[in-house]
Amino acid sequence: MSTRSDRPRAYFARLLDQPDDQIDYSEIPATTAADWQDAEVLLPVTPEEFRAIKRFVEARRRQEDTAARPHGPAAK
């Protein structure tokens, strides 16, 4: 696990120094699919990656819009 830039290593020291096989997951409450139904997914990306994702989504929408339009002489 790496530290976050907005939190110093000391903040995560307890977790970082704990071997994986000794982590106590019992403090984490059980969840069901219903608990996550409206959850947001947050992905850590760089500004450049975010711009690339936006370009991809915009291109996909344009492609879907073009595919949804009627084609051929009858469409005019």
Residue 16 near residue 1 (C-beta atoms within 8 A): yes
- Give residue 25's Cα distance to chain centre: 23
* pTM (two decimals): 0.39
Q: Which residue has the tokens 């991809």?
A: 56
Check pLDDT > 80 for residue 14: no
Close Cβ partners of 15 (under 8 Å, ≥ 6 residues apart): 1, 23
Q: pLDDT tens digit string along 43-72?
A: 888 999 999 999 999 999 999 998 887 765
Residue 73: the pLDDT is: 62
Give the Cα separation of 44 and 4 in Å (integer): 11
